Amino acid sequence: MKFSQLATPVVLSLLSSLSGTYGIATTRRATVCNGHAELCDRSFGNVTFVGAHDSYAVGTNSVFVNQDYNITQQLNDGVRMLQSQAHNKSGVIELCHTSCTLQDGGSLQDYLAEVKTWMDANPNDVVSLLIVNSDNIVPSEYDTVFKAAGLDTLAYAPTSASLPASGWPTLGSLIDSGKRLVAFLTTEADFNTVPYLIDEFTNIWETAFDVTDTTFDCNVNRTNGDTSTQMYLINHFLDKLVAGFPAPDPEDADTTNGVSGVGSLGQQVQTCASQYSRNPNFMLVDFYEYGNGSVFQVAADANGVTYTPTTPIASPKSSSGSSSSSSGSVTSTPNGGLELRIVPAHIAASLAVAGGMMLGALSLF
Ligand SMILES: *[C@@H]1O[C@H](CO)[C@@H](O)[C@H](O)[C@H]1NC(C)=O
Ligand SMILES: *[C@@H]1O[C@H](CO)[C@@H](O)[C@H](O)[C@H]1NC(C)=O
Ligand SMILES: *[C@@H]1O[C@H](CO)[C@@H](O)[C@H](O)[C@H]1NC(C)=O
Ligand SMILES: *[C@@H]1O[C@H](CO)[C@@H](O)[C@H](O)[C@H]1NC(C)=O
Ligand SMILES: *[C@@H]1O[C@H](CO)[C@@H](O)[C@H](O)[C@H]1NC(C)=O
């Protein structure tokens, strides 16, 4: 009697404070996550995302590009992982291919500002960054740039330096917490100093990159962790050897990005899913818009959702032939190796231009 009389107000007050807390969470709870209600309750580590390989290397008149459209357009169309390569250009973190003398895609700060603008306008989306830390720049320097771009406050810091795929929060909770940018760094990540710059290879393993063979096998190529529990990334961009160098292959991009068929993205996902009994988490592609959304269709199929683009995705530029000065390109791989991109219509010119570039590139190392 006495106890219940005493307990009741305590319980009531506890309940009311709990419901107060709950009330806030409830009103903020996302009902659509990355375009789909079904994804809100799914762990980040259990979702398949399309990623843009060399997302900052954009253009049609440059000989150094892997994408036709800027990152705003990439994000509008559905890309949710932006891969980039960072260099130390006189103390400024710059996104360049292999060397800033060869190709300079602008500063990391400008790039992050564009990401921030997009994320502010799209509050129900989780976006990942994968930064190839070519010059082993320390996290505190990245932190300064993230702060300047206003992205540090959007960045998710995991509970420990590495998480198994199953240990990641749901997309809904990332969105509800406002920490919906997931930033991976290939080297130098330090959980104790900047916990939101997450070490790639203890969290993600990768398949081979720069392949010239449409087999696109799913074998582990790079990791620094337990591949049975890590998330994984497939490098699904096809190169062809031109004068002995791996060259991106826009001519085959419709096929490479396709939903099905030999060498398609869809086929590699099937191969990997049967090998590991789970789908890839990230799929890096070149010229993502080739295939008219096929890469997003593959992701939707993997996620068990319906692909329903709200606006038509951008049209391919590279093969239009409209940019007559586009003769070929040299791009860099995640490891800093070189690739040549050749527009086949101008192959002879490409070889001459690219050959010159290669010599220049090699002397710059
Ligand atoms: C990105 O490209 C689109 C065209 O696809 C253009 O309208 C937009 O202004 C560009 N945005 C930035 C920030 O460069
Ligand atoms: C970046 O380069 C500058 C010189 O241009 C150098 O002083 C600085 O130590 C470098 N920073 C890193 C992290 O390598
Ligand atoms: C990883 O891939 C690269 C490029 O495709 C290749 O040169 C290398 O031999 C591969 N390494 C392993 C361990 O498979
Ligand atoms: C997510 O989990 C489902 C069910 O286990 C699985 O079929 C799917 O492959 C997983 N996707 C990823 C990206 O882990
Ligand atoms: C591209 O796909 C959209 C549907 O997503 C479709 O409406 C459109 O006709 C397609 N365009 C081409 C050129 O196939």
Atom number in ligand 2 closest to CA 141: 13
Ligand 4, atom nearest to 280 Cα: 13
Domain boundaries, the chain: 35-364
Distance 298 CA to ligand 4 centre (A): 14
Ligand 3 centroid – CA 221 distance (Å): 6
Ligand 3: nearest atom to the Cα of 208: 2
Distance 238 CA to ligand 1 centre (A): 26
Testing ligand 4's pocket by substitution, the residue of 278, 298, 301, 305 carrying the most ligand atoms inside 8 A of its CB is 278
What pLDDT does 103 receive?
81
State the distance from the centre of ligand 4 to the C-alpha of 223, rounded, in angstroms: 20
What does the pLDDT look like over 292-313, one tens digit per residue?
999 999 999 999 999 999 899 9
- CB contact at 8 A, 290 and 257: yes
* Mean pLDDT along residues 279-287: 98
The answer to whether residue 95 scores a pLDDT higher than 80 is: yes
* Residues in the ligand 5 pocket, defined by CB under 6 Å: 292-293, 309, 312
Measured distance CA(60)–CA(77) in Å, rounded: 18
Residue pair 115/82 in contact (Cβ under 8 Å)? The answer is yes
Residue 335 has pLDDT above 60, yes or no: no
Among 259, 290, 292, say which to mutate for ligand 5: greatest number of ligand atoms within 8 Å of CB: 292
**Lining residues, ligand 4, CB within 6 Å:** 46-48, 278-279, 281
Residue type, 271: T
The mean pLDDT of the chain is 83
The residue contributing the CA closest to ligand 2 atom 1 is 91
Is 356's pLDDT higher than 50?
no
Out of 118-132, 151-165, 236-250, pick the least confident. 236-250
Q: How confident is the model at residue 28 (pLDDT cuts 50, 70, 90)?
A: low
Q: What is the pLDDT of residues 53-83, one digit of tens each?
A: 999 999 875 556 789 999 999 999 999 999 9
- Residue nearest atom 14 of ligand 2, based on CA coordinates: 137
pLDDT digits (tens, 9 = 90+) for 211-237: 999 999 999 999 999 999 999 999 999
Q: Whose CA is nearest to atom 7 of ligand 2?
A: 91
Decide if pLDDT at 4 tops 60.
no
pLDDT value of residue 63: 54
Indicate which residue's Cα is closest to atom 4 of ligand 2.
90
Nearest CA-CA partner of 103 in 117, 82, 89: 89
Categorize the per-residue pLDDT at 136 as very low, low, confident or very high, splitting at 50, 70 and 90: very high
Pick the CATH number of 35-364 from 2.130.10.10, 1.20.1070.10, 3.20.20.190, 3.50.50.60: 3.20.20.190
- Structure confidence by residue, pLDDT tens digits, 180-202: 999 999 999 999 999 999 999 99
| Residue 87 a catalytic site member | no
- Residue-wise pLDDT for 241-259, tens only, equals 767 777 677 889 999 999 9
User: How high is the pLDDT of residue 354?
Assistant: 38
Q: Are 15 and 44 in contact (CB under 8 A)?
A: no
With a 6 Å cutoff on the Cβ, whether 135 touches ligand 2 is yes
Decide if 236 is catalytic: no
Q: How far is the CA of 292 from the centre of ligand 5 (A)?
A: 6
Kindly state the average pLDDT of the residues 93-101.
90
Residue whose Cα lies nearest atom 6 of ligand 4: it is: 278
State the pLDDT at residue 98: 81
Query: Which residue lies with its CA nearest to atom 9 of ligand 2?
Result: 91
How far is ligand 4, taken at its centre, from the CA of residue 346, in Å?
Answer: 43
Ligand 1 centroid to residue 73 C-alpha, Å: 6
Q: Residue 364's pLDDT is what?
A: 22
Out of 36, 87, 97, 236, the active site residue is: 97
Closest ligand to residue 208's CA: 3
What is the number of the ligand closest to the CA of 168?
4
